[in-house]
Amino acid sequence: MDAAPPDDAPRRPRRAVALVAVVTTAAALAVAVPVALADRHEHAADDLRADLQRVATAQASWKAAHGEFSTSLTDLGVDADRDELAIVSAGTRGFCAGAHDDGTGTTVFYSPGAGFSDRSCA
């Protein structure tokens, strides 16, 4: 009598289940990672806009007292916290300030005339 060849049929469903699990996980990550990165960038942009709003408030007070906008964050009493924050330009008619988050690469600019933008106002 010839022995029947070993049946590997019980292994096939396990392989199929494993393959489905891998594909499902990859698909979930493909959706979740970009959403998480977008949330991170938006959170950074919100923080940068808050910093720039502090600059705008300080600039309004400075202009009222000195007749022109300041080019110095120190003069304005604004601390740069964790972000790179700078006054790009300033004069009697307006100013441009920018803030950058190194962690996300997000940059936001502000000027009284244009408001918040991802493009330099200088």
Q: Work out how many domains the chain is built from and give that number.
A: 1
Backbone angles phi, psi at 21, to 5 degrees: -65, -40
Residue 122 has pLDDT above 90, yes or no: no
Q: Could you tell me the residue range of the domain that residue 49 belongs to?
A: 11-117
In a domain, 47, yes or no: yes
In a domain, 86, yes or no: yes
pTM of the model: 0.67
Q: What is the mean pLDDT of residues 98-104?
A: 91
Total residue count of the chain as it appears in this document: 122
**Encoded tokens for 106:** 């997000």
Residue 47 has pLDDT above 80, yes or no: yes
Lowest model confidence (mean pLDDT) among 2-11, 29-38, 40-49, 96-105: 29-38
E strand residue ranges, 69-114: 84-90, 95-101, 106-111
In a domain, 89, yes or no: yes
**Encoded tokens for 74:** 């120190």
In a domain, 5, yes or no: no
CA-to-CA distance for 18 and 27, rounded, in angstroms?
14
**Encoded tokens for 84:** 């790179």
In a domain, 122, yes or no: no
